[in-house]
């Protein structure tokens, strides 16, 4: 075996998977996992750990995998992460743990994410569950939102003995994990529903169909319903549009709408909610959300183009997703930006006019700024355009909560160390605070806030 290379992982064939919604990556078998674990050097000063936002003790859990002690490996991961089956699948490992792994200097980094996923799936298959608290504290905490931040915060607080209720606006728990990230990357029944069940088995109550700020306010939760602390993990769900002509035409969707119709409302399984699948689809944007929308449209039978204004190196999506999208046949129009959506007489999209770009000076984000090349406009035929330009937090909660500070971008202002906001007893974390980020960061923020809430309530 070549120790420079990682043990290859089995994936569904690109041609086959482009026509179904089953998971793309099939995961390691036990033998493969043990073999891959053998590549870890068990570094004294493990760089990988410094790359993981929640500092999972990576060498220690991998050591246990090597020794086929999977339950122990799961325990080690669980000390730092509440959602390993999710993070092992969706973390941008190449820029986090694996990006720092010393194995990666000369050869391929250890497949930390895939090993983490293996351990989590093993634990789930073998019925290993987190243990509920033995003693109850008799204090109520409300958690707003059931995404990774909320689930993690709720789970941690329940384990300490708090009486936790999660309030979720939608009819299903999981946040972006259920409405955004598609089935073929993150199976809903097998992974997300299980994680939600785990949190419930710790004694957490989930009340769905409650929109904080509309159905009830934070002040009422605290004053009338007896919650002594509140965690806000409401995410960043508001889609952005470009403001170009034609954007309200029939056949133009936000990625959130397209993905929600398919994932949450399960259009692909022929639930009642319709989806306009499209035959020639253009997706505008280059993040994970754009890749997910593109690959969803492909699976619904469309020819798909991605239009992104910078070059491949700047694509914010996970490398693995870009790679998978290409394999499946998504066409990338890079250094290209839309200027207008072309509309036919009936009000439907018939194409999109784009202009070529080149990279100029670096901007505030440190990335080179794309600049239009005059006279380079051309048209791409399309019957569907999916806008995937990022999202921002919904102002519903900040606008209905007295004394809760938000910044210019509508993000809630909260202390990174403990989630404390400008309002006593109210904590926040995840995308609601940072703007759209990652699952692992949201989870980390949920953990930090759980500690912050525990400290606050212990003193109170």
Ligand X SMILES: Cc1cc2nc3c(=O)[nH]c(=O)nc-3n(C[C@H](O)[C@H](O)[C@H](O)COP(=O)(O)OP(=O)(O)OC[C@H]3O[C@@H](n4cnc5c(N)ncnc54)[C@H](O)[C@@H]3O)c2cc1C
- Establish if 91 lies at the interface with ligand X (CB under 6 A): yes
- Residue 47 binding ligand SF4, by CB under 6 A: yes
- Compose the 261-290 pattern: x for residues touching ligand X by CB under 6 A, - for all others: ---------------------------xx-
Interaction of residue 41 with ligand SF4, rule CB under 6 A = yes
Quick one: three-class SS letters along 401-451? CCCCCECCCCCECCCCCCCECCCCCEEECCHHHHCCCCHHHHHHHHHHHHH
Find which of ligand X, another protein, ligand SF4, none residue 48 binds, CB within 5 to 8 Å per kind: ligand SF4
Helical segments of 126-168, H only: 148-160
Shortest distance, position 276 Cβ to ligand X, whole Å: 13
Give yes or no for residue 116 binding ligand SF4 (CB under 6 A): yes
Q: Is residue 56 involved in binding ligand SF4 (CB under 6 A)? A: yes
The span from the CA of 423 to the CA of 65, in Å, is 45
Structure tokens at 56: 């999972």
- The answer to whether residues 405 and 427 touch, using CB atoms and an 8 Å cutoff, is no
Q: Point out which span in 90-98, 138-146, 250-258, 353-361 binds another protein (CB under 8 A).
A: 250-258
Residues of this chain, 343-402, that bind another protein according to CB under 8 A = 346-347, 394, 396
Interface with ligand SF4 by CB under 6 A: which range of 85-93, 239-247, 258-266, 279-287?
Answer: 85-93
Of the residues 40, 173, 277, 449, which one makes contact with ligand SF4 according to CB under 6 A = 40
Binds 431, which of another protein, ligand X, ligand SF4, none (CB < 5 to 8 A, cut-off by type)?
ligand X
User: Does residue 162 contact residue 451 with C-beta atoms inside 8 Å?
Assistant: no
- Name, in order, each residue with C-beta under 8 angstroms of 153's C-beta and a sequence gap of 6 or more: 143, 231, 233, 427, 429, 446, 447, 449, 450, 453
User: Minimal CA–CA distance to 340: which of 358, 322, 356, 355?
Assistant: 355
Q: Are 239 and 387 in contact (CB under 8 A)?
A: yes
Give the span between the Cα atoms of 102 and 170, in whole angstroms: 43
Q: Does 398 participate in binding ligand X (rule CB under 6 A)?
A: no
Min dist CB 200 to ligand SF4, Å, is: 22
Closest CA to 85 of 226, 2, 193, 168: 193
Are the CB atoms for 343 and 325 separated by under 8 Å? no
CB of 353: closest distance to ligand X in angstroms? 26
Which spans in 14-69 are helix H?
A: 14-17, 30-37, 47-51, 58-66
Q: How many CB atoms lie within 10 A of CB 154?
A: 31
Minimum CB distance to ligand SF4 smaller for 48 or for 290: 48
The mark string for 56-95 relative to another protein (x by CB under 8 A, - otherwise) is ----------------------------------------
Number of residues that bind ligand X (CB under 6 A): 41
Of residues 231, 158, 237, the one with CA closest to residue 200: 158
Residue 112 lies near ligand SF4 (rule: CB under 6 A): yes
Site membership for ligand SF4, residue 91 (CB under 6 A): yes
Residue 242 contacts which entry, another protein, ligand SF4, ligand X, none (Cβ below 5-8 A, type-dependent)? none
What are the DSSP E strand ranges found in 179-297? 205-207, 229-232, 238-239, 252-254, 280-284
Helices (H) and strands (E) in the chain, counts: 18, 16
Within positions 306 to 365, which residues make up the interface with ligand X, using CB under 6 A? 318
- Select from another protein, ligand SF4, ligand X, none the partner in contact with residue 341, using the beta carbon and a kind-dependent cut-off of 5 to 8 Å: none
| Part in contact with another protein (CB under 8 A); list of ranges 110-118, 261-269, 296-304, 331-339 | 261-269
Q: Which is nearer to ligand X, 80 or 394 (CB)?
A: 394
Tell me how far apart the alpha carbons of residues 198 and 131 are, in angstroms, rounded to a whole number.
9
Token pair recorded at residue 265 = 């409302």
For residues 231-250, which are near ligand X according to CB under 6 A? 233-235, 237
Q: Does 82 bind ligand SF4 (CB under 6 A)?
A: no
Among 265, 297, 307, 334, binds another protein (CB under 8 A): 265
Segment 414-433, which members bind ligand X (CB under 6 A)? 430-432
Question: Which residues contact another protein by CB under 8 A?
Answer: 169-171, 179, 208-211, 214-216, 237-239, 241, 243, 247-248, 250-251, 253-254, 256-257, 260-261, 265-266, 271-276, 346-347, 394, 396
């Amino acid at each position: 075996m070549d120790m420079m290379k990682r043990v290859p992982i089995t994936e569904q064939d690109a041609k086959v998977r482009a026509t179904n919604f089953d998971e793309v990556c099939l995961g390691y078998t036990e033998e493969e996992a043990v073999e891959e674990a053998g590549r870890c050097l068990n570094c004294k000063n493990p760089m990988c750990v410094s790359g993981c936002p929640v500092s999972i003790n990576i060498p220690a859990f991998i050591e246990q995998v090597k020794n086929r002690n999977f339950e122990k490996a799961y325990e080690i991961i669980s000390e730092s992460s509440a959602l390993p089956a999710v993070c092992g699948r969706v973390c941008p490992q190449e820029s986090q743990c694996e990006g720092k792994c010393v194995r990666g200097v000369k050869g391929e980094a250890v497949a930390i994410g895939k090993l983490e996923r293996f351990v989590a799936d093993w634990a789930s298959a073998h019925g290993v569950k987190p243990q509920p608290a033995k003693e109850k504290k008799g204090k109520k905490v409300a958690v707003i939102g059931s995404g990774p931040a909320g689930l993690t915060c709720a789970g941690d607080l329940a384990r300490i003995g708090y009486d936790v209720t999660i309030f979720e606006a939608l009819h299903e728990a999981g946040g972006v994990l259920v409405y955004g990230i598609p089935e073929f990357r993150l199976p809903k029944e097998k992974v997300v529903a299980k994680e939600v069940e785990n949190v419930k088995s710790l004694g957490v109550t989930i009340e769905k169909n409650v929109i904080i700020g509309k159905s009830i306010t934070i002040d009422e939760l605290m004053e009338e319903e007896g919650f002594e602390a509140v965690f806000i993990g409401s995410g960043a769900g508001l889609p952005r549009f470009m403001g170009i002509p034609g954007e309200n035409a029939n056949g133009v969707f936000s990625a959130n709408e397209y993905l929600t119709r398919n994932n949450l409302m399960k259009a692909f399984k022929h639930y009642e909610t319709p989806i306009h699948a499209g035959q020639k689809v253009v997706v505008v944007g280059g993040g994970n959300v754009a890749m997910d929308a593109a690959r969803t449209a492909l699976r619904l039978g469309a020819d798909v183009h991605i239009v992104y204004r910078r070059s491949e190196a700047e694509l914010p999506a996970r490398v693995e997703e870009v790679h998978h999208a290409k394999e499946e046949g998504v066409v990338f129009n890079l250094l290209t930006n839309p200027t207008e959506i072309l509309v036919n007489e009936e009000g439907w999209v018939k194409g999109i006019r784009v202009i070529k770009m080149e990279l100029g000076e670096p901007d505030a984000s440190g990335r080179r700024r794309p600049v239009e090349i005059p006279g380079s406009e051309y048209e791409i035929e399309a019957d569907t355009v999916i806008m995937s330009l990022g999202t921002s937090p919904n102002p519903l909660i900040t606008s209905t909560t007295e004394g809760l500070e938000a910044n210019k971008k509508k993000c809630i202002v909260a202390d990174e160390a403990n989630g404390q906001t400008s309002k006593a007893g109210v904590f926040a974390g995840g995308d609601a605070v940072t703007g759209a980020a990652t699952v692992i960061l949201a989870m980390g923020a949920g953990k930090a806030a759980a500690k912050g809430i525990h400290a606050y309530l212990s003193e109170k």
